[in-house]
Structure 1
């Protein structure tokens, strides 16, 4: 996974480099992404002390939609 992310390469080059099939590379990459997602959900928590969004984010049209409460 680190090889793919760090060197910005695709599955085919990775499969050739490590001498594995494309299916194996895809399966392992997908498994690693699921593990990172699961760990991220356990480790990353919203700040309970943050009452409101900073003004820099609230006024930014690019990022504010991600923080709107639907």
Structure 2
């Protein structure tokens, strides 16, 4: 499962996103963070599918500072 998250450029936000994955004991085998003038883009590849993956994506979308989340390329 791939999550693409766009939000404000903030170390605190990045920690919250990684923390949500950690709550499910998930390790991101691949993670990419890009910081631009407009904000931050995070790509997480997680070994999680189905309803639990949707729950994690929805929790990330509700984080303060997150503007958008896409799950496997499909916006939530």
- Flag whether TM exceeds 0.5 (same fold): no
The structure with more helix, counted as a fraction of residues: 1
The structure with more strand, counted as a fraction of residues: 2
- TM-score bracket, shorter-length normalisation: under 0.3
- Taking structure 1 as the reference length, the TM-score comes to 0.27
Q: Which has the higher contact order (CA 8 A, sep 6+)?
A: 2
Bigger Rg over Cα? 1
